[in-house]
Structures are given as structure tokens and as C-alpha cells.
Amino acid sequence: MTARFTGKVALVTGGGSGIGRATALAFAREGAAVVVAGRTPGPLEETVRLAEKEGGTASAVTADVSRAADVARLVATAAGRHGGLHIAFNNAAVLAAGPVTGIDEATWAAMVGTNLTGVWLSLKEEVAYMSAHGGGVIVNTASIGVTAVPGLGAYGATKAGVVALTKAAAREAVADGVRINVVSPGPIATAMSMRPGETEAGRAARVGERVPAGRVGTPEEVAAAVLWLASSEAAFVVGHELTVDGGATA
């Protein structure tokens, strides 16, 4: 355990698996009280158990970030439970692959609702709370999927929206003591990066052919980037998109 975030309260959406879980555990290891949020209680409780096993402090809140009432309740609960809210990692996302003209309206709406509207609703509540309570730091999750990746056009559109939203919100909120940035992961070893029927070895071979680093990234590597953006070491970093992709978009 280190003390970089001792006395801080960090909220992580999508905290039941992958990048969200890795980041929640990293914050807990470094002294923060962590609130993990998502739609399914079981995985969230597992993240809490893992954090507590390592000596950290964590709790879970079931919430759907695409619903305004859920987000308002989430931020209020996180702040009330631990006495404040200093850091938020807006990471919850869903992905459905398919050609732009092949995605149906319900699938489109689901991705926009979680990936983009969810970040917007979270920003509204988090900025309002932080600006009234001495400031804070927010990191959003986008993706290198904003580039022209066949089969990921709809997903990429939502993530491009997150980047644009982040940059505008960052300039608006910094005067109120709220610092906002965005992290854009490349291929990371999570369930979301697996193609239907693909094995981990198959994914490694596919990614290795197109990523200059020659491998899949780890959730912990993205978590390290998020923690840096959230730390005082990045105090002059505002509205930045930090890409963690092994050189895929270099």
C-alpha cells in the first residue's frame, strides 16, 4: 500500500471487470476509498472483496449510468458513504460489433445510452458536486476505436463523442477546480476485446500483427495511466487524451 491517494474517495463506473476492476483495485492499493458501480451486483461485490483482501477500502453501488436518476443517486451515495468525492473514473461501456448499416436501432441506442449519455450524465453530477466541494479530478474512457475500424463504426462514434465531450467539459470546469481528461485504450486483455469464438492465443496473434508493441495490453497498464491522470503529478494536464495502445495509432 502506498499513500498517493490516502484520504481521497474515488468512484469507478464499470468497476465489475476489466479496466474498471483493475483501476478500482489500483486506487484502493494507493489508499483511496473506492466506490465501484455497474448494473450487475455480483461482479461489483467481487471487486470489493478483492480490494478488501489487499487491505483496501471499497464498496459497491448498483446503478445504470444511462439513467439520470441512477447517476444522481450514485454520486450522492458515493459522497455520503465516504465523506466526499475527489476522483471519478467514468469507464462503463458496452460494445456491439457490426457494419454501420447493419446495427439496429436498439443496439445503437444501447451503446449511445451507456457509452456517451452515461458519461455526460456522470459529468453533470460529478462536476456539480466537485465544484461545490473544493474541486476534483475526472477521467473518462474513450477508445482507439474512434479510428476507422470496420465493424466498430457505431462503437467508435460513441467514443469519439466522449473525446469531444471531455475536451469541452475540461475547459469549462477547470476554473471551478475540476480537472478532466480522457484515456483511450487500444487492444486490452479484457472480454470486450475478444471476437466471437476467439481464443486468447488467437487474439494475441491477431493483435500482435497490427500493434507495433507486438502484444495485447493489460488492464493494469490502463489503470496506471488513469491513476497518473488523477494524481497531483498531472496537475497541469487538462483536456488531454492519453492513448494507451502499444503504438497502434502512432
Cell of 28: 484502493
pLDDT tens digit string along 60-72? Answer: 999 999 999 999 9
Spatial separation of the C-alpha atoms in residues 53 and 69, rounded to whole Å: 32
The pTM assigned to this predicted structure is: 0.95
Is residue 2 predicted with pLDDT exceeding 70?
no
Spatial separation of the C-alpha atoms in residues 123 and 49, rounded to whole Å: 28
Per 3-state DSSP, the chain is made up of helix, strand and coil in percentages (nearest 5) of 50, 15, 35
- Tell me the average pLDDT across 124-129: 98
Candidates 5, 27, 120, 155; catalytic one: 155
Picking from 127-131, 134-138, 206-210, which range would have the lowest pLDDT averaged per residue? Answer: 206-210
Phi, psi of 182 (to 5 degrees): -140, 140
129 is a catalytic site residue: no
Residue 1 pLDDT level (bands cut at 50, 70, 90): low
For the chain, domains (ranges, CATH) are 9-240 (3.40.50.720)
Is residue 46 within 8 Å of residue 52, measured between CB atoms?
Answer: no
The whole-number pLDDT of residue 60 equals 98
Cell of 216: 495485447
The whole-number pLDDT of residue 80 equals 97
The number of angstroms, rounded, from the C-alpha of 37 to the middle of its chain's C-alpha atoms is 11
Cα–Cα distance list, 55 to 30, 43, 58 (Å):
10, 19, 10
